[in-house]
Copies of this chain bind each other. A is one copy, B any other.
Amino acid sequence: MVVTPTISSSSSVEDISSQQINILKAADDLYGGVRVEMKEPIDYNDFDTLLRTSISHWREQGKKGIWLKLPLELANLVEAAVKQGFWYHHAEPTFLMLVYWIPRTDHTLPANASHTVGVGAFIMNNKREILVVQENNGRFRGTGMWKLPTGIVDAGEDIGEAVIREVKEETGIKAEFMELLAVRQSHDLSFGKSDLFFVCMLRPNSFDIQKQDSEIAAAKWMAFEEYAAQSYIEKREHFNYIAKICAAKIDNDYIGFGAHTATKASYQRKKSCLYFNNNGGLVVPDNI
């Protein structure tokens, strides 16, 4: 079958010329598959027929994976796709991504995002006091425990940007990123996903605390030794290690990973950042 796809007036449908068969408008991906993004409302039965015809067409073309993006407004089409053999790949607040695998082999589609990412800030003034907070929510709420400012790294956000943003939001303190001191990987947190938590050292550029009221119950500068002596830190192995790492850093006895922003591939809007131990310019000159 010779097909010459042309784009029809409808944004989601294209017309295969010689036989006047309508199929869904699709873009080829780099792995022998196609991507379909539905945008306009369409009747359930019309979509059902179009999808069936389209799959046949792509099968004849030897296509592999089919990605189908349905915006929240077109939730009425989800059932039709699932009945034809699609399954869920991932979802965000405004859309659902479904996939289908045409070959008779196991699929080789990439996995969904698997980790949430968090940051904690170790930030000290010149009196050996560190910035600590008490939160309005979470497991230490109401316990009187002081903790490092922490937060979530969003998709598209650098670890270093995220930790600076969280410190500013929670305490009003302006700071700059110095080093990754440690990384913790935990499992079985939100929704069966895993979590990576980066302990970051920051240098403060301001010192007057303006706490955020909605999330933060209290914020202050606290003597490091007082922070580290809190019972919840002494009792929990990893908190204890992190406090020891910070203590070693204070004494200039610890080297973490510095940030080296560098390459950006053509398909990326933002540069990648590599974190490593560049102790004294050992790996690359320190002035990059």
A contact residues vs B (CB 8 Å cutoff): 31, 72, 75-76, 78-79, 81-83, 87-97, 108, 110-117, 137, 152-159, 180-194, 196, 236-238, 241-242, 244-245, 248, 253-257, 260, 262-263, 267-270, 272-277, 279, 282-284
Contact = CB atoms under 8 A, between A and B. Distances in A.
A281 to B, nearest CB: 11
Contacts of A153: 114-115, 194
Contact of A273 (B76, B111, B156, B185): B185
Question: Top 4 A-B pairs ranked by shortest CB distance?
Answer: A88-B91, A75-B82, A91-B91, A182-B276
20 contacts: A72-B87, A88-B91, A88-B95, A89-B91, A113-B190, A114-B117, A155-B187, A155-B192, A155-B193, A156-B194, A158-B185, A182-B276, A183-B257, A185-B272, A238-B262, A241-B262, A241-B276, A254-B282, A255-B255, A255-B279
A92 B88 contact: yes
Given A87-B93, A113-B114, A137 B31 contact: yes
A72 B76 contact: no
A115 B155 contact: yes
B196 A117 contact: yes
Q: Considering residues A110, A154, A238, A262, which has the most beta carbons from chain B within 10 angstroms of its beta carbon?
A: A238
A81 B108 CA distance: 31
Contacts of A114: 113, 115-117, 152-155
A104 B94 CA distance: 20
B97 A93 contact: no
B257 A237 contact: no
